[in-house]
Amino acid sequence: MKKILITRKLIKESEDKASKTFNPIFNTNDELYSQSKVIEMSQGCDGILSSLTDKLDKETIDKLPDTIKIISNFAVGFGNIDLDAAKKRGITVTNTPEVLSDATAEIGVLLILGACRRAAEGIESAREGGWKWSADYLIGKQLTGTRLGILGMGRIGQKIAKIAKSLGMIIHYHNRSKLNEEKADGAVYHESIKSLFSVSDVLSICCPATKETENMINKETVEFFPKGAVITNVARGDIVDDEALIDALNRRKIYAVGLDVYKNEPNLNPGYLKIKSAFILPHLGSATKDTRIAMANLAIDNINEFFDTGKCLNKVN
Ligand code: GLV
């Protein structure tokens, strides 16, 4: 049986499944392994089932033992792995798409609602007490008739678009390529981010973090938005230049943010904590039991498929 290092603790059902198909090394205490610990623990292993908390950069990948043939990431995103470095070493990298689209889209919509309807301030007031209902108390932005820009119209973006449309939002999007009519479902395509941002009363960031999307929200692009726009991010923190966004919030150029992901998690930029309107969550996108089991099962299946056939449907490098 193949020996696989599983870097984070999985839900029991998934660990049971892993034990049936390969020889897993579990992380029973769910300790966060350092890069050197991953290198050390992977000695004698055939593969690694990694998570988004493992930084598998070039330096780490170059030091992995030659026996490692696959890194199966327990996430749809794979910005934590240097794909080229893995490819150069003949290591296949896989991800877990589709199974988390619905759960992540739910959080994407929660971010939109939470930021627009001032949920962060509302929760704080309700907990503190002493608030009083009044005609103009915690007035927020209504979604009906509001334009939603979707940056990255993949499976998660399309699902958010569908729900937002049912709430009366008007959908615009930017994507590497224009979608066919069925997938676009009436959403308006913008070839440039400038064009998309200029019509986005609310933005939902749903694209992967890549060299091209890194810091796409920055000092210059934040000015493309209508005054008082809302920016939400359910994808990856690397897409946002935090200083630029916090500055735009402080200047009221941006009305509110809804964020589930951050650069340097879990240490988000403290500037966000000072902003009352910031609706912030601790990376909960895929956090439902069914979804986490489906993701882990897919990560396990990817390893089995790779060793059985030499190929894998969810290979990303
Ligand atoms: C979650 O953030 C994922 O990429 O799976």
Q: Pairing relation of β-strands 92-94 and 47-50?
A: unpaired
Give pLDDT tens digits for 76-127: 999 999 999 999 999 999 999 999 999 999 999 999 999 999 999 999 999 9
In whole angstroms, what is the distance from residue 150 CA to residue 193 CA?
A: 10
**257 C-alpha to center of ligand 1: Å?**
20
How many angstroms does the Cα of residue 286 sit away from the middle of ligand 1?
7
Q: Check residue 124 and give its pLDDT.
A: 97
Q: Torsion over CA of 159, 160, 163 and 168, rounded to 10 degrees? A: -140
Q: What is the DSSP letter of 174?
A: E
Query: Catalytic site residue 147?
Result: no
Does 147 fall in a domain?
yes
Closest residue by Cα to atom 5, ligand 1, is 75
Q: Tell me: the pLDDT tens digits for 208-255? A: 999 999 999 999 999 999 999 999 999 999 999 999 999 999 999 999
CA–CA–CA angle 2, 316, 67 (5° rounding): 30
Please report whether residue 209 resides in a domain: yes
Examine the domain organization and report whether 195 and 209 are in the same domain: yes
* 76 touches ligand 1 (CB under 6 Å): yes
DSSP single-letter state for residue 280? E
* Mean pLDDT, the chain, whole residue set: 97
Paired sense of beta strands 254-259 and 279-280, if any: parallel
Check if 280 has its Cβ closer than 6 Å to any atom of ligand 1.
no
- Could you tell me if the CB of 286 is within 6 A of ligand 1? yes
Residue 51 has what pLDDT?
A: 97
Same domain, 45 and 136: no
Residue 265 known to be catalytic: yes
Active-site residue (options: 8, 190, 283, 292)? 283
pLDDT of residue 308: 97
> In angstroms, what is the span from residue 239 Cα to ligand 1's centroid?
14
Residue 311: helix, strand or coil by DSSP? coil
Q: Tell me whether residue 258 is in a domain.
A: yes
Do 85 and 209 fall into the same domain? no
Q: How many Å apart are CA 59 and CA 238, to the nearest integer?
A: 20
**Same domain? 176 vs 209:** yes
Is 243 a residue of the active site?
Answer: no
Q: Would you say the C-alpha torsion 140, 143, 145, 151 has a positive or negative sign? A: positive
Is the sign of the CA dihedral 83, 85, 86, 90 positive or negative? Answer: positive
In a domain, residue 314? The reply is: no
List the residue whose alpha carbon is closest to atom 3 of ligand 1.
Answer: 75
Q: Are 293 and 270 within one domain?
A: no
Q: Same domain for 91 and 107? A: no
Do residues 93 and 315 make contact, with C-beta atoms less than 8 angstroms apart? yes
**Is residue 197 exposed (0-12), middle (13-18) or buried (19+ Cβ within 10 Å)?**
buried
Q: Flag whether 316 is in a domain.
A: no
Compute the distance from residue 137 Cα to the ligand 1 centre, in Å.
36
5: helix, strand or coil: strand
Please state the atom number of ligand 1 nearest to the C-alpha of residue 77.
Answer: 4
- Is 197 in the same domain as 131? yes
Tell me, yes or no, whether 115 and 237 share the same domain.
yes
pLDDT by residue (tens digit) across 165-191? 999 999 999 999 999 999 999 999 999
For the segment 20-75, what is each residue's pLDDT rounded down to a tens digit? Answer: 999 999 999 999 999 999 999 999 999 999 999 999 999 999 999 999 999 999 99
**Predicted TM-score of the model (pTM):** 0.96
Domain count within the chain? 2
12 CA → ligand 1 middle, Å = 20
Residue in 50, 94, 101, 104 to alter for ligand 1 test, most ligand atoms within 8 A of Cβ = 104
Same domain, 121 and 264: yes
Separation of alpha carbons 102 and 82, rounded Å: 27
Report yes or no: 195 and 143 within 8 Å, Cβ to Cβ: no
Q: Residues 152, 261: one domain?
A: yes
CATH, residue 39: 3.40.50.720
Query: Among positive and negative, which fits the CA dihedral 239, 242, 246, 248?
Result: negative
For 14, the domain range is 3-97+288-309
| Chain centroid to CA 131 | 35
Local confidence band at 4 (pLDDT 50, 70, 90 cut-offs): very high
* Nearest atom in ligand 1 to 100's CA: 5
Nearest atom in ligand 1 to 261's CA: 2
Amino acid, single-letter form, for residue 83: L
Q: Are residues 88 and 112 in the same domain?
A: no
Atom of ligand 1 minimally distant from the CA of 283:
2
Alpha helix (H) residue ranges in 22-100: 35-41, 58-62, 83-88
Task: Report the helix count and the strand count for the chain, using DSSP H and E.
Answer: 11, 12
Place of tokens 């334009």: 147
Q: Is residue 317 part of a domain?
A: no
Same domain flag for 195 and 275: yes
